Structure formats: structure tokens, C-alpha cells
Structure 1
Amino acid sequence: MAKQAERSESTRAGLVAAARELFAERGYAAVGTPEIVDRAGSSRGAMYHQFKDKQDLFRAVYEQVQQEIMAQIGESMAEVDRTDPAAALKSGLHTFLLSCTDPERIRISLIDAPAVLGWQEWRALDEQYGLGLVIAGLEQGIGTGVLRSDLAIRPVALMILSALGEAALFIAGAADPETARAETEPAIFALLDGLRAG
């Protein structure tokens, strides 16, 4: 039983890896399931055992990308001096915006995901992966007296997340994503500075 589960997990991981490469290279619409199966060294039957359809496989790829980005953001925030939660939040925001210049992330998360998953599911997954980190950063800032405590945390966190979503789309759509990121980051930081106490 354990070996079967291990094989199943290995098959799933191979399909996700193959799909991720292909989606990043050419985009969701230009990639067919036979090509994914072939690159993964798998079979159509195995793919449909693991995933309902190509969209379901894309969802798994998107979630993997999101998990990796959230891990990077968490690491960058943890590296900052704990006595300065605002700096930790800025470090996390900087890491997020940098990720928006990565061609794979642009293609999978910012160009294809809204169209493939639909706007509502895309936003719901964005909240699932990003909202907790933003709330944690705000709570730490409020707890140490660095950030204002007179505002409800969830609405503030959702507004920050929405601003980051728009910033990500702006960067992804730019002819020069790095220049767009450099222009966007000070504006995001200014929003955060407006939450400082006193």
C-alpha cells in the first residue's frame, strides 16, 4: 500500500513538473495533454487518474508556484530584525514584487491563471496563500506598536493583497517588468508607511 501511494505521488509530481515546464514555455492554451504526458514519461490513464482534466492539472501547477513564492516571502521576512515588523513586511513585499518579474511566474500566475481558473477562483487562491502572511505581518507590527492599532486587520490585509495583485498585473503586462517593479515598489511601501503608528 505504501509503495503504491509512493508511486502515485511520484506520477503526480512528474506530471506537475512536466506541465509546469510546458505552461511556462508556451502558455496553457498552446499545450496539449498528450505532450504533458509524453514529457512526464507517463500515460493518459495515469494523468486522468491524478487529475480531472488539464485545468485541474494547471491548478496544481499554480498552487505549487504560489506555495514556493509564499515560502520565499516567509524566509525573507524571517531574516529581518524582529524588532522592526514594518521592515519585515517591506522585505516580504519586495520579495513578492521581485517574483513578479520572473517569466515563469508572469506566464503561469499572472497571465494564464486568471483566464484558466476564472477571476473568482484566482482571487480566492491568492487569498488562501497570501492573506495569512499579510495578516501575520500586520499583527506583529500592531503588537509591537509600530503599526496603527485603530484599524480592523482583515480589511487592511485584503486591501494590501488587492494592491499587490494590481501591482503584479502591472509588472506582468509591462514591456520591461524590472523597470515596472522599480516604479511600483515605492508606491506599495508608501501605502505601508501610511499604517505606521504616530
Structure 2
Amino acid sequence: MQQENQTRSNKARTDATRSALLKAARHLFSEKGYAETSTPEVVKAAGVTRGALYHHFSDKLDLFRAIVTEEYQKVAEEITSFAKADPTDAVDALRQGSRGFLKAMEDRGRVRIMLLDGPAVLGRAELDRIDRDTSADALRLGLEGAMQAGQMKTLPVQALTVQLSALFDRAALAISDGDDPNAHLEVLDAIFESLA
């Protein structure tokens, strides 16, 4: 019994340390950017030792990769929650998902991490892998569903997914710089309508 409690206690401490590191790093990366954030700053902000950082992450890049992955997962959750909000059909689910994406990307720190520093630090191939593993599949599956239901033209789904993903990213960057989100939603809605 005591061994089981100690194991749970150790796991709880380990989880708490990892969580503190991720929270501190996310804040610093979103405020200062990857290049201007140092691991000693992360350790200090998290209130842990340097050894604790390197117990959980091999280096700053590994820590950043974990933050980027978490951000993509959060965006995917937001997209999914919007897309399930009583869509009238498959195309409406895609429109709702686009609203979820832009809502999730209202966080300027997220925009910096995912769309500015992410490609520069991790490279396009790794970001594409993270995107596929977390959120791009939602878009691809939504497009496939709309095509299979006969609600959208049959097009090469992978190419369409790539192009729409790029479109969403550019819209998020423009909105982050002050563009009207409603104008971008109007355009996205028109694009989905043109694909019907």
C-alpha cells in the first residue's frame, strides 16, 4: 500500500513538473518567441531545476516541439467542438469548423508559436507531420465526408486539404494583424459554397 502511494506521489510530482515546464515555456515562447527564450528563463519561470527540464525534454527544441503539438491539439479540439454544433450538413460542418479554427487562433501567442516560429524552428515537414497527427485529419475527413455525401465536388482530397489549410493559416495571420474576422469568414463560406 505504501509503495503504491509513493508511486502515485512520484507520478503526480513528475506530471506537475512537466506541466509547470510546459506552462512556463508556452508563456515565454508566445511572448518573446523561440529565439529570444532561454532554457534558464523557462526553468526559473517554472520553479524547477535545470535537471528537471532535461529529465523531461532533451533540449529547448524538444520542449518547443511539445508546445507546438499541444497548440495543434487545442486547435483541433476547438474545430471539432464547433463542427459538432448542430451542422445542417457536411458542408455546414466544414463552415462551422472554420469558425472554430479562427476562434482558436484569436490567441496571438498561438499564432506566433504555430504559424511564425513553428515553421522557422521545426521546418515545414515536421510541422506538417504534427498537423496531420492532430488537426489536418479533421479537415480531410470533413472534406471526404462532404464529397461522399454528394454535397461537394469530388476533387483530389489531399491537395484540397493542403490548400485549404494554407488558406486558413493565412487568414489567421491576417486577423492576428488586425483584419476583420467576419470578412475572412465570409470568404471562407463563399469558398465552401463554390465547392458544392
Cα shift at 1:101: 3.0
TM-score by length of 2: 0.86
1:35-92 CA-partner distances (Å, limit 9, x unpaired): 11111111111101111111111111111111111101101101123x4111111011
Q: Distance in 2 between matches of 1:169 and 1:126?
A: 17
Please tell me whether the aligned partners of residues 75 and 135 of structure 2 are also in contact (alpha carbons under 8 angstroms).
no
* Equivalent of 2:161 in 145, 157, 161: 157
2:190 counterpart residue number: 190
* Structure 1 segment 40-51 matched on structure 2, within 5 A: 40-51=46-57
Q: Distance in 1 between matches of 2:94 and 2:124?
A: 26
Point out the more displaced range, 92-101 or 64-73. Answer: 92-101
Point out the more displaced range, 111-120 or 15-24. Answer: 111-120
* Equivalent of 1:56 in 52, 59, 62: 62
1:85-117 CA-partner distances (Å, limit 9, x unpaired): 111110111221233332121222122212221
1:9 has 2:15 as partner: yes
1:113 counterpart residue number: 118
Aligned residue for 2:35, secondary structure, equals helix
Cα shift at 1:2: 4.6
Aligned residues: 190
Please tell me whether the aligned partners of residues 80 and 91 of structure 1 are also in contact (alpha carbons under 8 angstroms).
no
1:92 counterpart residue number: 97
1:145 has 2:150 as partner: yes
- Aligned identity (percent) is 34
* Equivalent of 1:79 in 74, 85, 98: 85
1:129 counterpart residue number: 134
Cα shift at 1:20: 0.7
1:36 has 2:57 as partner: no
Q: Distance in 2 between matches of 1:166 and 1:128?
A: 21
Where does the alignment leave 5 or more consecutive residues of structure 1 unmatched?
none
After the TM superposition, list the runs of 4 or more consecutive aligned residues in structure 1 that deviate by more than 4 angstroms: none
Q: Distance in 1 between matches of 2:123 and 2:140?
A: 25
Amino acid aligned to 1:195: L
Cα shift at 1:131: 1.9
Q: Distance in 2 between matches of 1:195 and 1:72?
A: 24
TM-score by length of 1: 0.85
Please tell me whether the aligned partners of residues 33 and 117 of structure 2 are also in contact (alpha carbons under 8 angstroms).
yes
1:27 counterpart residue number: 33
Aligned residue for 1:98, secondary structure, equals helix
* Structure 1 segment 64-75 matched on structure 2, within 5 A: 64-75=70-81
Where does the alignment leave 5 or more consecutive residues of structure 2 unmatched?
1-6
Coordinate RMSD, CA, aligned: 2.0
Please tell me whether the aligned partners of residues 30 and 108 of structure 2 are also in contact (alpha carbons under 8 angstroms).
yes
Q: Distance in 2 between matches of 1:112 and 1:152?
A: 30
